[in-house]
Structure 1
Amino acid sequence: MQSKVSRDQPITNARLTFNQFWENVRAIAGPYWYPTEPGSRAFSEVIRTWSMLVLLVLLIIALVGVTAFNTFISNYLVNVIIEEKDATKFIQTLSIYGVSLICVTFLVGFSKFLRKRIALDWYEWLNNRILSKYLSNRAYYRINFKSDLDNPDQRLSQEIEPITSNALSFSATLLEKVLEMTTFIIILWSISQLIAVVLLTYTIVGNLIAIYITQELNKINQEELELKAEYNYSLTHVRNHAESIAFFQGENQELNIIQRRFSNLLKNAERKINWERGKEIFNRGYQALIQIFPFLVLGPLYINDEIDFGQVGQASIAAGLFANAMAELINEFGTSGRFSSYAERLAEFSNALEAVTKQPENVSTIRILEENHLAFENVTLQTPNYEQVIVEDLSLSVQPGEGLLIVGPSGRGKSSLLRAIAGLWNAGTGRLVRPPLEEVLFLPQRPYIILGTLREQLLYPSTSRQMTDAELKEVLQQVNLQNLLSRVDGFDTEVPWENILSIGEQQRLAFARLLVTHPSFTILDEATSALDLQNEGRLYQQLQDTKTTFISVGHRESLFDYHQWVLELAQDSSWQLVTVQDYRNQKIITHNSTENTRITIDRLPNNESQDQSEILTQKAKSVGLSHKEMTELTFYSIKTIRSKASKGESITDRDGLTRHYDKDLKVWK
């Protein structure tokens, strides 16, 4: 029983592989050739495509027919020359033969042109379809969290066109060569049944060998695609991080990484060369035997006057064309292996784009409501994989024209809150009220610099906005970039801006976009971290003058001067919302408390009888306690303590003492 399972296993694997391949092809080709989704393709475009395909099939049939006709003309021409020796018939037959050869020439040219035209149209549609998926619903962002998918940029730029060209080439060649082989077998059957039978047997054996060689080449081609993608990415990585590498003097390490990936690519290429060598030897030997065989059979028949010389020539031509058709078909099967690899990777990419944009089932998400203000209502934000809570039960509202500063330890999720506002992260519970994203401008710490002119940089993301050069110069003056125009030829100059602008200049350029677009709401994620205090103050003052509502993430104390509220995130997912003045008072009290505590401990180094509870009680009498410290004196959770604090309710600790919340100092006493 065990041996039966092992014998059936290769058949089952082959069937599964073919089924998967067919599913990939249907996913790629189906929407183009058989559109079922409403509005996916115009009916007129579908009719045009099918019309070109039908015309291509007719051209191929005509090409095979004229080629077969030429073998009979060649046979007749030889007989006219050798046996009849009729000059008139020779001229007539030669004229017909010449016209038919001209027809073959035009049929080959037009069929290949039409094949490439169809492939180009398909490539245009498929590229636009995948690109639309990539840039819709922020799939280009979400796909980065799918670690098992490599190099989406290469899949878009290098692996779509070969699918359409290879598919059309393989399909057209398959039809043409099968028709040719069938036609030439019939011609050979009419001359010698023995030759036809032997060629059919020979074809079956040859195909089995070719399939084995092709399968191995398919595996090598698949590895080649992946290794090339890794090698290209390593080179792109160096270009994108050239300055950092230069600072670290990491050229040798980068060279080792690149050479290691290139070495893997070379090893794969060597394997491919070895297999292709065997394939070429097989193809040449296969064709040579087919070309020799008709002479071995027909030579004696002609010597014994059983057939004429023209039939020998015709059989030889038919066998040669049969061999060429078989060789091209085998080559196309080899190419189809590459097509299979491309189709698999593109189908995987397309499915991944659809998967990342679908809302997961049976998970909680933050509900988003679009209104003309910004508020968090009992929002608990988690990481996209739901493994970590970033902030718990957050409730606050930012009034129009106000500024909110988000602070907290590094890695506590300050930027994650901004991602939630933008809708990038929505794992969690609660409700988020925000304006439409068209009214919000995001300024990250490292500004996004587009590939375009200076005018497009300033107008981004609304590059269709119309502004005069004088207006744009005024904007540059406001952000202290008035000297930028002296370094380029004008606003319509396109240069590698990331290379010629420092990070500080890029941050000022991002602020210039703010002054151009005049958004109602602005989100700044350490957007002035590379600026000196003077430039920072100048930009924030202009931000306040625009009367926009803004939220900032930052660590500098100088930012307190431009905001009214501070949201502090703690390590335990708790938070507090206070005015800037109260937050400063808290910092002063905390600093003084730390100094006093240090002095007290120095005076009582061996006092082990004073436990943690007594220390907290003494601290409560003097400077107050945080919510977290109160949990150590009570039986309540930090969430309950925060809730009671927000309502101004009193709470009883473990010693029976009643404590209340002092709203002025925002501490428990």
Structure 2
Amino acid sequence: MQTPSVREQNTTNPFSTLIQFWDDVKVVAGPYWYPTKAEGRAFVDVIRSWGMLILLLLLIFGIVGGNAANSYWNRYVVDLVIEERNIEKYESTLWLSSLIVVGMVLLVTSLRYIRKKIILDWYKWLNNYILDKYLSNQAYYKINFKSDVDNPDQRLAQEIEPITSNAVRFSTTFLEKVLEIGSALLIVWTVYPEIAFYLIIYTIIGNLIAISLNQVISKVNQEELAFKADFAYCLTHVRNHAESIAFFHGEKEELNIIQRRFNNVIETAERRLSLERGQDAFGRAYQSAIGVFSMFILTPLFLQDKIDYGEINQISFACFMFSNALGELIGEFGVSGRFSSYVKRFAQFSDTLEAVSQEPEKVNTIKVVEENRLAFEDVTLKTPNYEQVIVENLTLTVQPGAGLLIVGPSGRGKSSLLRAIAGLWNAGTGRLVRPPLKDVLFLPQRPYIILGTLREQLLYPHTDRKMSDKELEQILQQVNLQHLLTRVNGFDTEVPWENILSLGEQQRLAFARLLITHPSFTILDEATSALDLNNEGNLYQQLQENKTTFISVGHRESLFNYHQWVLELSQTSSWQLVSIEDYQLQKGLAIKSVKKEQITIDIAPRKECKIEPISSVVITEIVGLSHQEIKNLTDYSLATIRTKASQGKPITTNNNVTYRYNKDPKVLKWIID
């Protein structure tokens, strides 16, 4: 079921945009400034944050009040110079004027430091807060198929810091400039009330126009943020798939794709620049007109001796303070547009993380029971959106030490069963019995390679485990990776492993983790698809020697040698569980007899029947390889392999083994030449 990423808005309510913006702000600011949950911030941290905020507000009041008081002091000094022409009194004012300057410098410096400190602390906490939500309850995984939120990495890396910096800067600047406007109006009112009245009307009209312009720019800002995120993701996609692009020589097509997304960024940026040009022109004209207006009124009054020069100087200073504050306030409306865009995307992201982390109501889910065994009890598994049934009424028990191979057509849910075991997918009904996940190791087809040293690669996910270099060297030898130490300087050198290791080496590295962890249960999703038969056999034999219970997903017929049972999923949601021998007889596969110990898997379908243990059974050994298996061992395409098979030409694999295709209708396999 899709989780909406955009909140519903009431378009019939004229104040819906403002209401929605306030709701989004509460999502961003609430957990930090006013936590209401017990697991929120510590009380002492909240008090510290509020203390810094109160100090910031006091500094703002101090600066604005100091500027207002300074206007009266300057008026007094000007009157001494112009009216009284008293040099002694003027010299006596210099020390106080110097003290005022030093005091204002200290206040402004402290204000800027406290503001940056609040921004940094809030950003640090907010980043950790959203990362915790992102990595809790596997939200980072579920968000990819349960919502339409785009580019979560972009939102985490580039859109959190602007929220805190813009929020604090806009709030403090808004308060500071409103206070400056108010103090300027008060100063003007005490000298000449008529001018103050005109300034109030002028301010109201100008701000209404500024807000209207800002709403248009805000919409463009939101589009630009989305296009920038798409562009950044496109570049990351190229980096992650560089080898595949190089094989296809797809540079031209990739450039076209990148260029299209970059053009979207440029087009929205140009629209924003055009709108901001108009906003800047309005702000500059609006600000400049105040000075002209004030002088137009004050000059005749001075000539008529109705006010003195000191009052003109004070009113001029107040008008300058008023116009400067008004200009910065209008400029901040543009910042508020970008701020609202960031806040909206963050709120959507945060709400979606919470939604995907919660179990949906009034839907059926598979019940999970933790025991030291693995069993499906009448399990019907569905896709996370509940739209497709993957397997129906699956009932089987995997006994300790057994090996189960899951096969079936591509796209029929083999890997989905493994996701159900891991708890990633739980849509459906029935009961899943499995050991605690700490006792289970999952090996995917493309292993996860972390950003770290070789030691950390081997010990992952328990990188704090203590193992000597000698022990790690022995592990590398067991999986034929001892040559890795010749590529780097020891186990503690950090290199881009994903770029320097082949897929086969990555799969062997994953097996090395298995040998270090010694899990009771191992799940392998085509974990040997890139390995030659010798390395595959070596790794599976070590699994058997460690008495590990394992379930494999794979297409290679060589896997039959290491498992006792086959679970086959059909094109529909049906299934069958048979022994390796019976499955090969069903499929008419060429076999060679070898004796191997048999371990039982219990199956209890509708009539709760069980398969009894068998002491020994004839297990198959494949004497040839299919086209797909040859493809996995070479750099040839399937079309080339089929052509060589029809022409009777040999193929040499990457490990220098030569195969020739046997056209005997009873064989039809690639065999060693």
State whether TM-score is above 0.5: yes
SS in 1 for 2:93: helix
SS in 1 for 2:577: strand
CA distance in 2, matches of 1:91, 1:148: 71
> Can you list the C-alpha shifts for 1:526-569, whole angstroms capped at 9, x where unaligned?
00000000111111111112211111111111111111111111
Shift of 1:39: 2.6
Aligned to 1:617: none
Aligned to 1:34: 34
Aligned to 2:469: 469
SS in 2 for 1:38: coil
Aligned to 1:243: 243
The unaligned stretches of length 5 or more in structure 1 are 1-8, 592-640, 649-663
In structure 1, give the amino acid aligned to 2:182.
T
Is residue 375 of structure 1 aligned with residue 344 of structure 2? no
SS in 2 for 1:268: helix
Aligned to 2:560: 560
Is residue 283 of structure 1 aligned with residue 258 of structure 2? no
8 Å contact kept, 2:402–2:549 = yes
8 Å contact kept, 2:146–2:385 = no
The equivalences for 1:50-65 within 5 A come to: 50-65=50-65
Shift of 1:644: 6.1
SS in 1 for 2:524: strand
* Identity level (%): 65
In structure 2, give the amino acid aligned to 1:581.
E
The equivalences for 1:441-480 within 5 A come to: 441-480=441-480
8 Å contact kept, 1:403–1:562 = yes
Larger helix percent? 1
In structure 2, give the amino acid aligned to 1:385.
N
Shift of 1:647: 8.2
8 Å contact kept, 2:391–2:573 = yes
> Can you list the C-alpha shifts for 1:19-59, whole angstroms capped at 9, x where unaligned?
11111111221121111100311110111111111111111
Shift of 1:14: 3.5
CA distance in 1, matches of 2:505, 2:352: 37
Shift of 1:584: 2.1
Aligned to 2:491: 491
SS in 2 for 1:157: helix
Aligned to 2:214: 214
Shift of 1:10: 11
- Taking structure 1 as reference, are residues 645 and 315 closer, same or farther at Cα in structure 2, changes over 3 Å only? closer
CA distance in 2, matches of 1:13, 1:225: 26
In structure 2, give the amino acid aligned to 1:502.
S
TM-score by length of 2: 0.86
In structure 1, give the amino acid aligned to 2:151.
N
Is residue 413 of structure 1 aligned with residue 413 of structure 2? yes
Aligned to 1:521: 521
Which stretches of structure 1, 4 residues or more, deviate above 6 A after TM superposition?
Answer: none
The equivalences for 1:200-599 within 5 A come to: 200-588=200-588
CA distance in 1, matches of 2:562, 2:383: 30
CA distance in 2, matches of 1:352, 1:82: 68
RMSD: 2.0
Aligned to 2:15: 15
> Can you list the C-alpha shifts for 1:593-649, whole angstroms capped at 9, x where unaligned?
xxxxxxxxxxxxxxxxxxxxxxxxxxxxxxxxxxxxxxxxxxxxxxxx97469589x
Shift of 1:581: 2.0
Shift of 1:11: 9.3
8 Å contact kept, 1:73–1:93 = no
In structure 2, give the amino acid aligned to 1:214.
N
SS in 2 for 1:445: coil
Aligned to 1:118: 118
Is residue 103 of structure 1 aligned with residue 116 of structure 2? no
TM-score by length of 1: 0.86
8 Å contact kept, 2:395–2:605 = no
CA distance in 1, matches of 2:281, 2:557: 76
In structure 1, give the amino acid aligned to 2:572.
D
> Can you list the C-alpha shifts for 1:260-293, whole angstroms capped at 9, x where unaligned?
1111111111111111111111111111111122
Aligned to 1:179: 179
Shift of 1:299: 1.1
In structure 1, give the amino acid aligned to 2:520.
S
Shift of 1:490: 1.6
- Taking structure 1 as reference, are residues 455 and 563 closer, same or farther at Cα in structure 2, changes over 3 Å only? same
> Can you list the C-alpha shifts for 1:381-413, whole angstroms capped at 9, x where unaligned?
111111111111111111111111111111111
CA distance in 1, matches of 2:291, 2:438: 71
SS in 1 for 2:15: helix
CA distance in 2, matches of 1:10, 1:37: 29
Aligned to 1:85: 85
Moved more, 70-79 or 85-94: 85-94
Moved more, 89-98 or 151-160: 89-98
In structure 1, give the amino acid aligned to 2:512.
A
8 Å contact kept, 1:77–1:94 = no
Aligned to 2:644: none
Shift of 1:98: 2.1
Shift of 1:318: 0.6
SS in 1 for 2:81: helix
Aligned to 2:655: none
- Taking structure 1 as reference, are residues 536 and 422 closer, same or farther at Cα in structure 2, changes over 3 Å only? same
8 Å contact kept, 1:63–1:107 = yes
CA distance in 1, matches of 2:335, 2:314: 31
In structure 1, give the amino acid aligned to 2:332.
E
CA distance in 2, matches of 1:62, 1:643: 81
> Can you list the C-alpha shifts for 1:107-132, whole angstroms capped at 9, x where unaligned?
11111211121121111111111111
Shift of 1:83: 2.0
- Taking structure 1 as reference, are residues 589 and 559 closer, same or farther at Cα in structure 2, changes over 3 Å only? closer
Aligned to 1:603: none
> Can you list the C-alpha shifts for 1:53-110, whole angstroms capped at 9, x where unaligned?
1111111111111111111111111111222222222122222122212211111111
> Can you list the C-alpha shifts for 1:338-385, whole angstroms capped at 9, x where unaligned?
111111111100110111111111211110000111111111111111
SS in 1 for 2:282: helix
Aligned to 1:622: none
CA distance in 2, matches of 1:557, 1:589: 9
In structure 1, give the amino acid aligned to 2:430.
G
CA distance in 1, matches of 2:610, 2:38: 54
CA distance in 2, matches of 1:195, 1:149: 52
In structure 2, give the amino acid aligned to 1:166.
N
8 Å contact kept, 2:10–2:16 = no
SS in 2 for 1:467: coil
CA distance in 2, matches of 1:346, 1:10: 20
SS in 2 for 1:397: strand
CA distance in 2, matches of 1:10, 1:276: 28
In structure 1, give the amino acid aligned to 2:575.
W
Aligned to 2:129: 129
8 Å contact kept, 2:74–2:314 = yes
CA distance in 2, matches of 1:330, 1:94: 36
SS in 1 for 2:368: strand
The equivalences for 1:61-80 within 5 A come to: 61-80=61-80
Shift of 1:243: 0.6
SS in 2 for 1:495: coil
CA distance in 2, matches of 1:20, 1:146: 23
Aligned residues: 593
CA distance in 2, matches of 1:205, 1:424: 57
